[in-house]
Structure 1
Amino acid sequence: LTLRTLVNGEVVQEGNTGEDLLFSFAYQVADLSRLITLEPGDVIMTGTPANSRPVEPGDVVEVQCDEIGTLRNPIVELDRDLQPVGEQPQVTGNTLHVALCVPEDEAEVVAAAEAAGS
Structure 2
Amino acid sequence: MEAAFSGMSPWEINRDFTEIATPLGALDLHNDASLVGFRVFGHPLPSLLIDFSDGRGRPFSLEFKNVGELTVRQGGVASDGWLEIPEDAECEGLDNVSYYEYGTDLPPVFDISSLNLDMKFRSGEVRFIRPAE
TM-score greater than 0.5 by the shorter chain: no
Greater relative contact order structure (CA < 8 Å, 6+ sep):
2
TM range (shorter): under 0.3
Instruction: Answer 1 or 2: which has greater helix percent.
Output: 1
TM-score, normalised with respect to structure 2: 0.21
With normalisation by structure 1, the TM-score equals 0.23
Report which of the two has the higher share of strand.
2
Larger radius of gyration: 1
